[in-house]
Amino acid sequence: MLKRVDRSLLTNVWLSLFIVVGTLLLIGITPSSIQAQSGITSPAGGSTISGDVPIIGTAVIEPFQRYELYYKLEPSGDDAYIYFDGGTNQVTNGQLAIWRTANLAPGTYSIRLRVVKADGNYGEFFARDLVVSQNAGPTPTPTSSEPTPTSIPTTTFTPAPQPTPIVGQITQPQVEGDAPILAATATSGGLAVVITGTTGGISITTGENGGALLDAAGPTPQAVTTSFTRDLGEAVGLNRLRSFFVTGIRLSATLILGCVVLLAGKRLFGWLWTQYR
| Beta-strand runs (E) in 52-157 | 52-59, 64-73, 82-87, 91-100, 107-117, 122-132
- Average pLDDT of span 253-271: 90
If asked whether residues 270 and 202 sit together in one domain, one would say no
In this prediction, residue 273 has a pLDDT band, given cuts at 50, 70 and 90, of: confident
How many Å apart are CA 194 and CA 74, to the nearest integer? 75
Q: What is the pLDDT of residues 97-113, one digit of tens each?
A: 999 999 999 999 999 99
If asked whether residues 69 and 110 sit together in one domain, one would say yes
- Average pLDDT of span 66-86: 95
Domain range for residue 207? Answer: 169-216
CB-based contacts of 108: which residues, under 8 Å, 6+ apart? 73, 74, 129, 130, 131, 132
Contact indicator for 224, 198 with CB cutoff of 8 Å: no
pLDDT of residue 188: 47
pLDDT of residue 30: 42
pLDDT of residue 270: 86
If asked whether residues 54 and 84 sit together in one domain, one would say yes
Looking at residue 89, the DSSP 8-state letter turns out to be S
Answer whether residue 261 shows pLDDT above 70: yes
Instruction: Answer with the residue of higher pLDDT: 214 or 12.
Output: 12
If asked whether residues 196 and 264 sit together in one domain, one would say no
Residue 166: its H or E element: none
In a domain, 32, yes or no: no
How many Å apart are CA 134 and CA 51, to the nearest integer? 9
Which residues are 21's β-sheet partners?
none
If asked whether residues 125 and 184 sit together in one domain, one would say no
Answer whether residue 208 shows pLDDT above 80: no
3-state secondary structure (DSSP) of residue 46: coil
In a domain, 209, yes or no: yes
pLDDT of residue 2: 43
In this prediction, residue 246 has a pLDDT band, given cuts at 50, 70 and 90, of: confident
Which amino acid type is present at position 230?
R
Instruction: Answer with the residue of higher pLDDT: 19 or 72.
Output: 72
Answer whether residue 119 shows pLDDT above 60: yes
* Number of domains, the chain: 3
- Average pLDDT of span 198-219: 48
pLDDT of residue 16: 72
pLDDT of residue 232: 65
In a domain, 28, yes or no: no
In this prediction, residue 5 has a pLDDT band, given cuts at 50, 70 and 90, of: very low
In a domain, 151, yes or no: no
In a domain, 27, yes or no: no
Q: Distance of alpha carbon 204 from its chain centroid, rounded?
A: 58
- Average pLDDT of span 235-250: 81
In a domain, 144, yes or no: no
Contact indicator for 57, 42 with CB cutoff of 8 Å: yes
Instruction: Answer with the residue of higher pLDDT: 4 or 259.
Output: 259
Instruction: Answer with the residue of higher pLDDT: 238 or 184.
Output: 238
CATH number at residue 107: 2.60.40.10
In a domain, 226, yes or no: no
Do β-strands 48-49 and 122-132 pair in parallel, antiparallel, or remain unpaired? parallel
Listed residues 132, 159, 180: the one ending a domain? 132
pLDDT of residue 157: 61
In a domain, 142, yes or no: no
Answer whether residue 8 shows pLDDT above 70: no
Answer whether residue 146 shows pLDDT above 60: no
Looking at residue 38, the DSSP 8-state letter turns out to be -
If asked whether residues 244 and 211 sit together in one domain, one would say no
Answer whether residue 230 shows pLDDT above 80: no
pTM recorded for the entire structure: 0.39
Listed residues 87, 111, 132: the one ending a domain? 132
If asked whether residues 57 and 101 sit together in one domain, one would say yes
If asked whether residues 45 and 100 sit together in one domain, one would say yes
pLDDT of residue 46: 93
How many Å apart are CA 115 and CA 68, to the nearest integer? 7
How many Å apart are CA 234 and CA 223, to the nearest integer? 21
